[in-house]
Amino acid sequence: RNQPVTVTVTGAGGQIGYALLFRAAAGAMFGSHTPVRLRLLEIPAGVRAAHGVALELDDCAFPLLASVDVFDEADRAFDGTDVAVLVGARPRTAGMERKDLLAANAGIFGPQGRAINDNAGDDVRIVVVGNPANTNALIASAHAPDIPVDRFTALTRLDHNRALAQLSHRFGVDTGHITRMAIWGNHSNTQFPDVSNVAVKGSPLAGSQLDRAWLRDEFIPKVADRGAEIIAVRGASSAASAANAIIDHVHDWFKGTPAGDWTSAAVMSRGEYGTPAGVFCSFPVTASGGAWHIVPDLKMSDEARSRLAISTDELLAERAAVAELGLLPVHHV
């Protein structure tokens, strides 16, 4: 048995929390030899629900679940944490302007970044899920000056998995036979799901597989707008699939991505592929040694570059709005 890993989940009383925590406690993140300590953070209005989840976690008698604790205070919730999963966020409500949404979330992710900075374990890794995820990750990292920025990520694995599923249906092969998919840009409907490097059973797409009209009119909008489709059909936003993507993301971060393949995650841009430095942008990435690496030297068409630019322009606009509100430390602007 390995040393236990401490995982803090914010918004633990919400729907993603409910779909995530049981799988984390069952060992899905780190494998069957690594016990997990769960620390659940909620706002006071959500603490009772989180306590309810803790009771049910207890009742599963998971052999790997070393402890469960519930908090309504960030400093304590992040004490000694190895993995911080930031799910809790302020949702957009009717009539709310984007500026108000960004400000409300900065009020959450700034203090949580500071609390992680001051209390988490030395090797802490952070994945931001709550939307707008990329910009919330920027705000959190900006308030954590002692933590290397590469430890912060925003989740785009759900978009990646959605793309794999669509390609699996289209080509009639299991998702496991599809490699080198890439999600670029923001976790929003401006994202660019890019199949130009995809291989099916190891062979690059060719001939009718590269049906440009299908890619442009069906595949890309299907993946980019899938969140809205789930809400329309299910009557609630995606939760189990989001939780599954969080598990995949954390699992790969610790265990590495398979040889010959990559995945997608939003990491701090240093200008790779012409993206603006200083925003969290989704890239094709590999993981090894507990770190993400942007896949280098991929060819990009002019169309791909212009699609990516639309999404990074949105990231820049979000960053500018947050900076204008005085919510980013000056050195980050």
Q: Is 129 in the site for ligand NAI (CB under 6 A)?
A: yes
Nearer to ligand NAI, 65 or 115 (CB): 115
CA-CA distance, 198 to 221, in Å (whole number)?
18
Q: Provide DSSP, 43-105.
A: -HHHHHHHHHHHHHHHHTT-TTEEEEEEES-HHHHTTT-SEEEE-------TT--HHHHHHHH
CA-CA distance, 50 to 243, in Å (whole number)?
16
Q: How far is the CB of 178 from ligand NAI (least distance, A)?
A: 20
Window of 12-20, 204-212, 289-297, 305-313 that interacts with ligand NAI by CB under 6 A: 12-20
Residue with nearest beta carbon to ligand NAI: 14
User: How big is the chain, counted in residues?
Assistant: 333
Residues 161-200 that bind ligand NAI (CB under 6 A): 187
Catalytic option among 177, 187, 249, 251: 187
Q: How far is the CB of 18 from ligand NAI (least distance, A)?
A: 8
Q: Is 240 in the site for ligand NAI (CB under 6 A)?
A: no
Instruction: Specify whether the CB–CB gap between 262 and 269 falls below 8 A.
Output: no
Residue 324 neighbours by CB under 8 Å, 6+ apart: none
Out of 5, 7, 9, 14, point to the residue binding ligand NAI (CB under 6 A).
14
Q: How far is the CB of 297 from ligand NAI (least distance, A)?
A: 28
Q: Is 8 in the site for ligand NAI (CB under 6 A)?
A: no
Nearer to ligand NAI, 64 or 263 (CB): 263
Structure tokens at 21: 């925590």
Instruction: Answer whether the bond into residue 91 is a cis peptide, omega within 30°.
Output: no
Q: How far is the CB of 59 from ligand NAI (least distance, A)?
A: 20
Binding mask 92-111 for ligand NAI (x = CB under 6 A): ----------------x---
Q: How far is the CB of 133 from ligand NAI (least distance, A)?
A: 4
Q: Let me know if 328 is exposed, middle or buried by CB neighbors in 10 A (0-12, 13-18, 19+).
A: buried
Out of 149, 237, 240, 291, point to the residue binding ligand NAI (CB under 6 A).
237
89-97: list long-range contacts, CB under 8 Å, 24+ apart: 89/11, 89/129, 89/130, 89/131, 89/136, 91/131
Nearer to ligand NAI, 124 or 200 (CB): 124
Alpha-carbon Rg for the chain, nearest whole angstrom, is 19
Instruction: Specify whether the CB–CB gap between 171 and 205 falls below 8 A.
Output: no
3-state secondary structure (DSSP) of residue 203: strand
Q: Is 187 a catalytic residue?
A: yes
Out of 116, 155, 163, 279, point to the residue binding ligand NAI (CB under 6 A).
155
Out of 21, 36, 37, 46, point to the residue binding ligand NAI (CB under 6 A).
46
Q: Is 130 in the site for ligand NAI (CB under 6 A)?
A: yes
Q: Is 41 in the site for ligand NAI (CB under 6 A)?
A: yes
Angle, helices 15-26/44-59, rounded to nearest 10 degrees:
30
Out of 133, 198, 205, 300, point to the residue binding ligand NAI (CB under 6 A).
133
Q: Which of 324, 325, 322, 316 is nearest to 140 (CA)?
A: 322
Q: Is 238 in the site for ligand NAI (CB under 6 A)?
A: yes
Instruction: Specify whether the CB–CB gap between 39 and 81 falls below 8 A.
Output: yes
Catalytic residues: 187
Interface positions with ligand NAI (CB under 6 A) = 10-11, 13-17, 41-43, 45-46, 87-89, 91, 108, 129-131, 133, 155, 158, 187, 237-239, 242
